[in-house]
């Protein structure tokens, strides 16, 4: 049982990162894409070489409702992105639970 819980924890951790890393296809049509575009415009990069890291320093704080210098996104967009991410996480959790129950 302990081994299963550890596997579930690791899987959930990995899935969380993928869910929050929004793809850039049709950025304008997705609320998280709007945030991503604002982060990129403010100089946040997806590479580890820059001091302004895209996910750690911009996307994640904005999604969590924090203010990020140089990034302006309306509250409705942030709420829509949060709702989308919660829905994706819930779906991933259901998939994980189904996979675990079949073993």
Q: What is the pLDDT of residues 43-95, one digit of tens each?
A: 999 887 778 899 999 999 999 999 999 999 999 999 999 999 999 999 999 99
**Total number of domains in the chain:** 1
pLDDT at 76: 96
pLDDT at 7: 60
Residue range of the domain that includes 88 = 2-101
Half-sphere CA count of 30, side-chain side, radius 13 A: 16
């Amino acid at each position: 049982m302990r081994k299963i819980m550890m596997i579930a924890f690791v899987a959930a951790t990995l899935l969380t990162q993928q869910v929050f890393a929004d793809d850039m296809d049709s950025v304008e049509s997705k609320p998280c894409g709007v945030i991503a575009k604002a982060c990129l415009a403010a100089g946040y990069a997806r590479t580890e070489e820059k001091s302004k890291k895209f996910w750690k320093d911009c996307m994640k704080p904005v999604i969590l409702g924090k203010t990020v210098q140089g990034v302006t996104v309306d509250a409705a967009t942030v709420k829509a992105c949060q709702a989308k991410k919660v829905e994706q996480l819930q779906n991933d959790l259901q998939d994980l639970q189904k996979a675990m129950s079949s073993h």
